[in-house]
Structure 1
Amino acid sequence: MAGLTANTPQPTSITVHQQSRVLEIGFSDGREFRIPFELMRVYSPSAEVQGHGPGQEVLQTGKREIGISAIAPVGNYAVQPTFSDGHDTGIFSWDYLYHLGADQETLWRQYEERLAQAGMSRDEPMPEKSGAACGHHH
């Protein structure tokens, strides 16, 4: 399994909290995380979000109210959530979820910094997908 080592804690419980929009996940090393859906959506490991190389990431905005409508297991090493905006190509391995949970504060900070650099707000709607590059209008 890619990225899975003997040291990767296995999840002992996964609970999707629709109301508070967090994924509660307990790991075999005793740690428990509450990972906001928004964080998962913004840092989805899919090509659609991460792009196909460094600097190709697509900055995700307007995901504060995101929900998870379904979550499917992928083998014994990952889950694949379906988000309420239809995004369902992200496969979250246990070690990636652990990273999201353990490094939440850093990840939020990086997200805020990327938003600032792009001159965008966290609640801005995502631009409609189109072939042409969108000009920035303020």
Structure 2
Amino acid sequence: MTAPIPTRVHYHRKAQELELGYDDGKSHRLPIEYLRVFSPSAEVRGHGRDTATLQVGKKFVGLKDITQTGRYALKLHFDDGHDSGLFSWDYLRWLIENRETNWADYLQRLEDAGASREPLGIEIKQL
């Protein structure tokens, strides 16, 4: 898979969405929570589906920073401290194309685990 490279990346802080714009004029917005729970890091994905760690309590997660890694990926620095894993253009395209299926599967796994998107305890953010 050789995904197109975005020509524009914008973080919509208030909406908590990452927008990827392309040469053809199309753009896609992905919720930060979706990106966080589908992080390509070994910490989240494990070393196979059976070793993946279900991400819970990420409903209000945001971004602290975004850095480009070469010409092939973005590194997202989430405000919950998670910043491992590189979001390659191919992986971002896969997330865009499979968003509905991925999200439904995630919500089902949360339900099966008796877990929630809501954070535990009091949310503390530094501005």
SS in 1 for 2:51: coil
Q: Note the 1:45-56 alignment, pairs <5 A.
A: 45-56=40-51
Percent of matched pairs sharing the same residue: 45
Q: CA deviation at 1:23?
A: 0.2
Equivalent-residue separation in structure 1 for 2:68 and 2:79 (angstroms): 18
In the alignment, is the contact (CA less than 8 A) between 1:26 and 1:33 conserved in 2?
yes
Match of 2:5 in 1: 10
SS in 2 for 1:72: strand
- Residue among 102, 106, 109 paired with 1:107: 102
SS in 2 for 1:11: coil
Q: CA deviation at 1:104?
A: 1.4
Q: State the Cα RMSD in Å.
A: 1.7
Kindly name which structure, 1 or 2, has the bigger radius of gyration based on alpha carbons.
Answer: 1
Q: Note the 1:46-125 alignment, pairs <5 A.
A: 46-125=41-120
In the alignment, is the contact (CA less than 8 A) between 2:39 and 2:87 conserved in 1?
yes
* Contiguous gaps of at least 5 residues in structure 2: 122-127
Cα offsets for 1:85-137 (capped at 9, x unmatched) = 000002100111111122211111010111111121221539xxxxxxxxxxx
What TM-score do you get using the length of structure 2 for normalisation? 0.87
* Contiguous gaps of at least 5 residues in structure 1: 127-138
Give 4+ residue runs of structure 1 displaced > 6 Å after superposition: none
Q: CA deviation at 1:34?
A: 0.4
SS in 2 for 1:96: helix
Q: CA deviation at 1:38?
A: 0.2
Instruction: Report how many aligned residue pairs link the two structures.
Output: 121
Match of 1:134 in 2: none
Equivalent-residue separation in structure 2 for 1:28 and 1:114 (angstroms): 36
Which of the two has greater helix per residue?
2
